[in-house]
Amino acid sequence: MTEEFLQFSRAAGNDLSTPRPEYQFPGLKPGDRWCVCAARWEEARLAGKAPLVVLESTHESALEHVKLADLRKHALDVAG
């Protein structure tokens, strides 16, 4: 998770930074890992705010919204 993405998501109406104890949600901070929906990730990528992804944890259905080449460019777990 990056501060840029957290700010982007907050501006788009999904505040992931604020703790929500009633849902046992501690709030996210830069460096955390979190499952992000593919459509929001693609919006963030187009805005230059996409966080890195763990390809091994990315479901193939994400490819309905995102190109594999773009995921690879943002992959945390791929060398080179």
Closest CA to 35 of 59, 60, 17: 59
Three-state DSSP string of 2-57 = CHHHHHHHHHCCCCCCCCEHHHCECCCCCCCCCCCCHHHHHHHHHCCCCCCECHHH
* Side-chain-side CA neighbours of residue 75 (13 Å): 16
Instruction: Name the one residue in this structure whose structure tokens are 């919006």.
Output: 43
In this predicted model, what pLDDT tens digit does every residue of 33-65 receive, in sequence order? 999 999 999 999 999 999 999 999 999 999 999
Domains present along the chain, CATH in parentheses: 3-73 (1.10.1660.80)
Give the pLDDT score at 43: 96
DSSP state of 61: G
